[in-house]
Every structure is written in C-alpha cells, then in structure tokens.
A and B are shown apart, each in its own frame.
Chain A
Amino acid sequence: MAELLLMRRFEIPDSHTLRVYRETGGYQGLAKAFGMTPVAILDAVKRSNLRGLGGAGFPTAVKWGFLPKDSPKPRYLVVNADEGEPGTFKDRYLLERDPHALIEGMTIAAYAIGSHLSFVYIRGEYIKPFRIFSAAVHEAYEAGLLGKGILGSGFDLEVIIHRGAGAYICGEETGLISSLEGKKGWPKLKPPFPAVRGAFDCPTIVNNVETLCHLPHIITLGGQWFAALGTKTQGGTRMYSVSGHVVRPGVYELPVTATLRELIENHAGGMPRGRRLKAVVPGGSSAQILTADEIDVTMDVDGLRDAGTMAGSAGVIVMDESTCIPEALWVLARFYAHESCGQCTPCRESTGWVEKILARILSGKGRPEDPDNLLDIARRGAGTTICAFYDGAVNPYLSYVEKFRSEFDYHIHHGECDVQPGRVVTGLGTR
C-alpha cells in the first residue's frame, strides 16, 4: 500500500492531541507556509492538482483564484464538515483522529487566501467529532496556533464552530452559507458564486475537511510530489469510505489512481459468504450505480466521470447479489424526498413523486408504465434546479432503472421480488 498521508496518525494513541500531532511532524507545514508568500502557496496548490474532495471535485487552486482582488470586504473561509452524503464517513475520522491536521490545513488556506475568520460547519449528529475538534481548537488557541499572531507570524485567524441541525442540504455550499447566516438552509442562486458573494455577502471559500487536511503535506513535501501520486488532472490520495456487502467495511486511503476492483477486493476483503457482487456506487449515493463488470476503473474524478458515474465524496457502497435494486433505489428515493429543501419546484415535487412510485412498485401495485415514467420524470427535472442536489437524485433514479430494468419489471409483473421471492414490502409511504 502506498504511503498514508491523511490517515497516518489514525492508529497512534491520542492522535487527536496537540502533543502527538507535534511529535509526528504536525504544524511544520504551517511554519513553512508562513515563510512563503500567499501567492507561492497558491502556486504549490495549483501544481499539486488537488481537487475538492467534498463532492464536486473542483480544482482547489482555481476556486481560490475566483476571489475578487479588489473587494474591500473581509474574506471568509468556510470548512465544510457537514458530511451528509449517504455512504460517506471519512471526515468524521479526520475530525476525531486528526483534528489538528484540519486546523493546520485550514490555517494554511486562510493565510493563502487572506482570511482572518474561519467558520467550521459540523454536521449536527457528529457530537463526538464536534467535541474532539472543539477541544483541539481550544488547545491550538492556548498554544498560539490560532488567534492573534499565529506562530509569531503576525497572521491572525479566529475560528467559529457552527453545528448543523441535521439537514443534508446544508452540506451544499450555499445551503450551508444560508444556514450559517441564521436562515433556513436553502441553497442560493448562482451566480453570484460564494467566492464573489458568499457568507454574509462577503467573498467566501468553502472547502471540504479532507481537502484542507491535504494542505500541510502539500506544503511540506511540495505540490509536484503530491501531483505525482495521482493522474495528470488530479493529484494525491483520498479516503474511500467503503460500506455494504464487503468483508472489511471502513475507510481506506489510496492514491486516486487505484481502481474500484482493487479497493473492493484487495482492501475491503471482497464479498462476504462467497456471494457475488451485483453493483457498486462509487462516489456517495448521488453517484450513478455501476454493475459488477464495470469496476475496473480508476477512482479519480475524471476516470469515474468517463465511466459514466462520479467520484463524488468517495463513499463506496457495495451491493451483493442478495440486494433488491428497486428497494435500494426506494431507500435512496426516500432520502432525497426527505432531504430536498423544497425550494425549487422540479426537485421538491418529483423527489416525492419518485418515492411514491417506487413504494407502489415494491408493494406489488406497480404499473407497466412506471419504469418509463420514472426515467421520464428524472430526465425532465435534470438540470433545471437551483442546486446540484437534484441532479444527485437523478443519477441514481436513471442509472438504477436503466441498468437493472428487469428487476423493476419483475416486481411490476409478478407483484414480488425476484431476488428475494415472495417478498412484498408494504406500508412504505409514510414519510
């Protein structure tokens, strides 16, 4: 296995403490960064080919470059620790086991973009991560690693930790900003993008936890070194959250050049009880599903895009042959119907509609036209909404039905499941 960057302290006792962090090379990147100009840091990040690991895979240096040069307003850095994408649990590990890496990465980013106030938006259900991270922030303030004149550099950074209230949509960067501003977590219209007008109407950079945790070693080891670990368009490693039907579910850090098959078979131990693989979702629930014979793909952003799916948040959900795909889609459909913020019409209305059609199919009352209607509804709504939430719902709607059509038809024509014969699921419509 390649060298671990993000997870290298995970197995060390008390890895969340400043003492252990420092003993293992912590805050050296920050010290080095203060010796560089912000432009030089931006340049290193550019050369590293670091791409956002929150979901969209946008090149980090390019995003930072969108900040207006001439705005008199303060700039904010927002750390997206809302981690709500089903099948994704990597940021949680980072917050719990290496919180100082986030503080260090965040401070490097803030210095690079000229921000003196950083908001960390932590998922509401993440109580333990919140406590551990808060304690680390406290430690950092005490040690002069946050606050005024950090490490004697003259650079100031304050941190505000904000806890979410359990809405998936508050992970979407503009929904997050609305929530941070004290409003309902409704995503905002773009343009303007947050880099131009974000939190409290000020230029704002939103970055994912994992993205920021990469900055310390990009600074210490260099952008080129980081880039060399990956592909031409994406550098480094990332953390894959593997769940579902594998022998060893958990988080795995691999270079982005690793393939999905390697991850599932070599690292996660393959299928339990000798079952056969049926399907894999490679990038969190919003990614298109892949069939068992589509997993020989590299898991970088472009590799998965070329395979007709997406790297997303790298939440890898593995389903073996015992899985009923219509039911799996219904589980997701219920999630999207429940989590749609309800602001824009196509998403608000069709997420509920799709859920109901699927519930009806599972209860044995499917109609022959249902699969085509599902596809049509999804295609009509795709690309018409305020935020990417809905496209993230459309990806599973379309790919599950297209790739596993016969399972839907079987339910409709026989009133029961072909994978688990005799199984009829009722009472589903109770959201």
Chain B
Amino acid sequence: MPRLTIDGKEIEVPAGANLIEAARRLGIEIPHYCYHPGLSIAGQCRLCMVELEKNPRPQIACNMVAMDGMVVHTQTPKVLETRKSIMEFHLINHPLDCPVCDQAGECWLQIYYMKHGLYDSRFVEEKVHKPKAVPLGPHVILDAERCILCSRCTRFCDEITKTGELGIFNRGDHSEVGLFPGKVLDNRYSGNVVDICPVGALTDRDFRFQVRVWYLDTQKSVCPGCSRGCNIEIHSNVRRPHHAQGRRVARLKPRYNPHVNDWWICDAGRYGFGSIDQGRITFPQLREGGLLREVTWREALALLIDRLRAYGPDEIGLLASPEMTNEELFLIRRLAETLGVKNLDFQVPPREPGDEDDFLLRADKNPNTRGAEAIGLWPADRGLDAWEMLEALRREQLKCLWVFHHDVTRCGWPEGAVLEALQAAQCLIYTGSNVNGMTERAHLVLPAATYAEKEGTFTNFEGRVQRIRKALPPLGDSRADWEILGECLEALNAGPKPNRPEEVFRALAHAVPAFAGLTYRDLGEYGLMLREVAHGASR
C-alpha cells in the first residue's frame, strides 16, 4: 500500500488508487468533471490539476496513480490559478441560462464556479450554437450547448451498457454529443447518463420542469422493483405540493453500494414510482350490498378481528407478499402461529416472466423473496399453499382469505378459476396500496403504506439485508403493514403492538437464525448478508 503526502497530510491508500481517490480519503476534494470512479479515465476536462513535487508542470490527478513517497499539493497558487482558467474555458461557450435550466441547484458548473472560478467574465464573442432540446430516447433529452464534453455519457454507453448509442461528433468547439445514426438511447439503463452528466446537458424527461431541486427532500431507500435491491434515494417534493400535480415523489436516484449496484439503477426501477402517488387506496373500505363504503380504522380493525375469530384455523388462509418487509413478514408468521393457521404462503406466479440480464435486472420482480423464504412463510405441516387455498375457497372448505398486496386476479394463474374461487369466499380481506382487481372483490379493504412511506428491511436475492426508510407520510389513511399487523396481534392478545419496525427486527433476529446477530445499526449504509450466507451454509 503506497504511502504519500497530500497537502502536508500523510496517507496510505490501496495500490492503484488515483490521486483524486487518495485525496478524497483525507477529505480533500479535487474538483473534476470527466473523472467518474465507475468509468475509464478520460483526462479531458483538465480540472483536476495538482502539483507534484519534483514535477515542473501541474498534472491531472485522475490519471496519476498514487505512489510511495509522492508529495502532492492541491492548493498552491499555481493549482488555484489553473482551476480558475479551466473553469473559464468550460464556461465561455456555455449559454449561462441557469434560470431556465433544470439542472440549476445541482449543477457542477455552478458549484465549481462559486468554489474555483469567481473570475470576471471577459468573453464578448458570439457563442457557438448547437442543438437544443433534442430527445435522445424515451427518458433523456439533450441540450448540446450546455454540454461540457466530459464524455461520461458516451463512456457509460460504451463501457457499462455496451450499447454504444452516444458519440461525440465534429471537432474543436463544434464538438457535440449525439446519437449515432439509427440509434436511440433506449437501453435499459439509459437514465443513468442523466445522473452522471455533471451539467444540464442531459436531463430527465420525466422529472424536468416539475420542481426546482432545492425544494426536494432526500431519503435513503432500496428499489422494490426486483430482487437485486439496488440502493436508491427517494427525492420527494412536499414543500411545493402545487407543482407536479401534487405528485410527492419527484424522482428516484441511484445510491452507491459497491456490493449491489455500484452507482447505477435500471430505468424500470427509476421510473417505477408512479404507484406511490397514483391509484392509491386511501381509506379502509367495507363492502355492503356490493358497494364499498368508507369506514374508520377502528371499525375496520374491529371487523377484521371479528372475522379472524369467527372462523376456525383451517378455514382461514393468509397470503403474504414478497413485497413486504422482513419485519412485516415476521409479524404475519406470528399471526399465523397465534391463530393456529397453517394455510400460509407468499408466492404467486407472475403474469409474465420478468426480464433479466447479466447486469442488475433480476427476473424476480419482488424485493424480498429471499426474506420471505428465510422467515419461512410457507404452509405449516399439511397446510395449503397459495393455489391450494384458492381451490379450497372454491370448494368452500376455506372460508376466509386475507391477501396482502398480490392481485391474484392478474397473475400467472387462469383468471376464470381465480375469479370463481374469490367469488366463493365468505370473507375476502385485501391489504394493499393500490386499486386493482382485488379491491373490486374484497369484502374488507385495508389501505397499506408503500415502501416509500415506511421503515423496514428487504433481503435481496443474494441474501443482503438492507434498510428502507420513510421518505413520506403514508398517503391518506393508509398504514404500514407492520402497524396493521401489530394492532391485529395486540387485539388478539399476542403482545403489545410494536412502536417501530426496529423492535420487530430485534425480535426477528432473535427468533430466526438466518437473521441472528443483525441489528439496524450494523446494517449501516450497505446492508449485511444473512447469517447463513455470510457463513457459507447451503440453503
């Protein structure tokens, strides 16, 4: 491990680290545009200049591997003056249209001008004009005049997705980013180019002009779109609710996790947040005379308990969901134990097979299948699985079915058989977030919070347990599944309801060996592997 000195501070860094990464470890920020840790070194922006002792010329830090005994200076007058010059060069042909640019507030030209520029403008010539508002694909739009030609976007398409849609055409100050003839930027990860574009050249067609970024709040979470469990940030807009037609979630952004998704997420996950604000079930409902009527939670819960007590354990089925958190699944297991219900399952076949690739996307479109398996949401001895429960409903052997989140009317099973079974149910309870085929048929509908509105953990397909956090309050009267289940268990005298999911997790870690030893604190930023995986035991 090379040991070097940066601005008078000594540090040891992993072999092969460049000077930007080495300095970062010391909390020293070397400004840069083209360097991105997930891409090859381009050395084009020339902003990351530093001085090395025994070297007459400033050097770019991105292409300089840290070596033993190096003495690096990042704050000399020469370095500061060079940065200022490079900032000026970056900006002479830039339109300086921040007031109408959607990147304003998170633009690295703005940030670095304030930190490293602050020169007086002296460019009086006509600027170079280039194409503006060019749609590159379904999600991304280009303003070539704002582009600083850092080539991050082209390198992303060449090196990460290997789809090569983008290139830099022409020469000199007429250089511009664009699509190769016949190409469209429609690969499954196209939105990432917006994240890595340091300026307002590539913006998100879905997000732009909805809300200024400084009105956004940020929360860490995990994408529920598939079993990869990519780490994300939820950017929500509650301060300017009149913008974006009241849509609270403004956008999702990838969050770095070296074990799961590095810096990236897929487009399906990125743009899959519409259901958080649209088509929601916002209050408990009871079916009377064929119509649903709004009821209070008090009424709904009373009814729920009444129904659960009215039937014998063999007449009740519980269909949990791999969309639920580990904590919630654990509470369902406890509910089944409390009631003595053996008819328990969590899986329903998808309507069509999910798409998968060798990068991030997984065919299993549920965030917590592995958690449900580890917690054991299977039928207890001689209990019924999901399909058998439906068949038993049809035969009127099962009387009461409580379904969480699944829309079994639109899954891989034959629709006619499913509808017949649901029709035969004496009591169909549905807990979910969005209006669907189940809300049309359930007798009791309990509105559930979405993943963005609650705390908890998901276990990804590899067995990594990761936290999701509450970015927003539950919409309307909806409640997190863990709260609903907690109330239910308390009413059934199975212990006091939990105050926080962390309490449930503690109990889970105690009760389920796979989770033994894990705590919220230890899960940290990047999550931790299930014990069985971490210890290499086969499943």
Contacting residues, chain B, for A134 (C-beta < 8 A):
none
Contacting residues, chain A, for B49 (C-beta < 8 A):
384
Contacting residues, chain B, for A344 (C-beta < 8 A):
43-46
- Which one of B85-93, B303-311, B475-483 is at the interface? B85-93
Q: Give chain A interface residues in 318-345, CB to chain B under 8 Å.
A: 337-345
Quick one: closest A residue to B148, CB to CB?
Answer: A345
- B173, A349: Cβ atoms closer than 8 Å: yes
Most chain B beta carbons < 10 A, residue from A184, A338, A349, A386: A349
Is the CB of B499 closer than 8 A to any CB of chain A? no
Q: Which listed residue (B41, B58, B123, B173) contacts A351, Cβ 8 A?
A: B173
Is the CB of A237 closer than 8 A to any CB of chain B? no
Is the CB of A381 closer than 8 A to any CB of chain B? yes
- B89, A345: Cβ atoms closer than 8 Å: yes
- A349, B93: Cβ atoms closer than 8 Å: yes
Contacting residues, chain B, for A381 (C-beta < 8 A):
85, 89
- B46, A384: Cβ atoms closer than 8 Å: yes
- B86, A384: Cβ atoms closer than 8 Å: yes
Is the CB of A348 closer than 8 A to any CB of chain B? yes
- A353, B41: Cβ atoms closer than 8 Å: no
Known: A381-B89, A429-B126. A342 touches B43 (CB 8 A): no
- A386, B171: Cβ atoms closer than 8 Å: no
Is the CB of B82 closer than 8 A to any CB of chain A? yes
- B171, A380: Cβ atoms closer than 8 Å: no
Q: Which listed residue (B41, B82, B126, B173) contacts A340, Cβ 8 A?
A: B173
Is the CB of B57 closer than 8 A to any CB of chain A? yes
- A342, B46: Cβ atoms closer than 8 Å: no
Contacting residues, chain B, for A360 (C-beta < 8 A):
125
A386 to B60, CA, bound (A): 10
Contact with A along B69-90 (1 / 0, CB 8 A): 0000000000001100110111
Q: Could you say which interface size class chain B belongs to?
A: 35 or more
Nearest CB of chain A from residue B193's CB, rounded to whole Å: 19
Known: A184-B168, A352-B93. A345 touches B44 (CB 8 A): yes
- B89, A349: Cβ atoms closer than 8 Å: yes
Contacting residues, chain B, for A373 (C-beta < 8 A):
122
Is the CB of B519 closer than 8 A to any CB of chain A? no
B interface majority secondary structure: loop
Q: Give chain B interface residues in 29-51, CB to chain A under 8 Å.
A: 41-47, 49
Known: A384-B49, A386-B43. A339 touches B89 (CB 8 A): no
Contacting residues, chain A, for B82 (C-beta < 8 A):
380, 384
- A189, B172: Cβ atoms closer than 8 Å: no
Known: A345-B46, A383-B57. A353 touches B172 (CB 8 A): no
Most chain A beta carbons < 10 A, residue from B47, B85, B148, B171: B171
- A380, B43: Cβ atoms closer than 8 Å: no
A191 to B81, CA, bound (A): 25
A-B interface contact total, Cβ < 8 Å: 95
Q: Which listed residue (A342, A353, A429) contacts B171, Cβ 8 A?
A: A342
- A348, B86: Cβ atoms closer than 8 Å: no
Q: Give chain B interface residues in 109-141, CB to chain A under 8 Å.
A: 122-126, 128
Contact with A along B161-200 (1 / 0, CB 8 A): 0000001101111110000000000000000000000000
Is the CB of B63 closer than 8 A to any CB of chain A? yes
- A346, B172: Cβ atoms closer than 8 Å: no
A360 to B123, CA, bound (A): 12
Is the CB of A110 closer than 8 A to any CB of chain B? no
Contact with A along B245-257 (1 / 0, CB 8 A): 0000000000000
- B86, A356: Cβ atoms closer than 8 Å: no
Nearest CB of chain A from residue B184's CB, rounded to whole Å: 21
Contact with B along A296-329 (1 / 0, CB 8 A): 0000000000000000000000000000000000
Nearest CB of chain B from residue A429's CB, rounded to whole Å: 7
Is the CB of A243 closer than 8 A to any CB of chain B? no
Q: Which listed residue (A338, A341, A352) contacts B128, Cβ 8 A?
A: A352
- A352, B172: Cβ atoms closer than 8 Å: yes
- A350, B43: Cβ atoms closer than 8 Å: no
Q: Which listed residue (A184, A351, A384, A386) contacts B172, Cβ 8 A?
A: A351
Nearest CB of chain A from residue B147's CB, rounded to whole Å: 11
A350 to B123, CA, bound (A): 11
Is the CB of A385 closer than 8 A to any CB of chain B? yes
Is the CB of B149 closer than 8 A to any CB of chain A? yes
A59 to B123, CA, bound (A): 42
Q: Give chain A interface residues in 146-183, CB to chain B under 8 Å.
A: 167, 169
- B174, A385: Cβ atoms closer than 8 Å: no
Nearest CB of chain B from residue A286's CB, rounded to whole Å: 16
Contact with A along B98-111 (1 / 0, CB 8 A): 00000000000000
Contacting residues, chain B, for A279 (C-beta < 8 A):
none
A189 to B41, CA, bound (A): 9
A349 to B91, CA, bound (A): 9
Contact with B along A184-206 (1 / 0, CB 8 A): 10000101000000000000000
A267 to B43, CA, bound (A): 45
Q: Which listed residue (B63, B81, B124, B128) contacts A189, Cβ 8 A?
A: B63
- A350, B89: Cβ atoms closer than 8 Å: yes
A313 to B141, CA, bound (A): 45
Known: A345-B148, A357-B125, A384-B46. A339 touches B85 (CB 8 A): no
- A352, B41: Cβ atoms closer than 8 Å: no
Most chain B beta carbons < 10 A, residue from A345, A353, A386, A429: A345
A328 to B46, CA, bound (A): 30
Quick one: closest B residue to A185, CB to CB?
Answer: B171
A353 to B171, CA, bound (A): 14
A212 to B407, CA, bound (A): 76
Quick one: closest A residue to B81, CB to CB?
Answer: A380
- A342, B57: Cβ atoms closer than 8 Å: no
Quick one: closest B residue to A349, CB to CB?
Answer: B89
- A346, B86: Cβ atoms closer than 8 Å: yes
- B43, A339: Cβ atoms closer than 8 Å: no
A184 to B164, CA, bound (A): 14
Contacting residues, chain A, for B168 (C-beta < 8 A):
184, 342
Residues of B participating in the A interface, judged by any CB pair closer than 8 Å: 41-47, 49, 57-58, 63, 81-82, 85-86, 88-90, 92-93, 122-126, 128, 148-149, 167-168, 170-175
3 residue pairs, one from A and one from B, having the closest CB atoms: A342-B175, A352-B173, A380-B85
A-B contact pairs, 10 of them (CB 8 A): A337-B173, A345-B46, A346-B89, A348-B149, A348-B172, A349-B92, A352-B173, A356-B126, A429-B126, A431-B174
A342-B149, A345-B86, A351-B172 known, 18 other contacts, Cβ within 8 Å: A189-B42, A189-B63, A338-B171, A341-B171, A342-B171, A343-B149, A344-B45, A345-B148, A346-B46, A349-B90, A349-B92, A353-B92, A369-B122, A373-B122, A384-B46, A384-B49, A386-B43, A386-B44
Residues of A participating in the B interface, judged by any CB pair closer than 8 Å: 167, 169, 184, 189, 191, 337-346, 348-353, 356-357, 360, 367, 369, 373, 380-381, 383-386, 429, 431
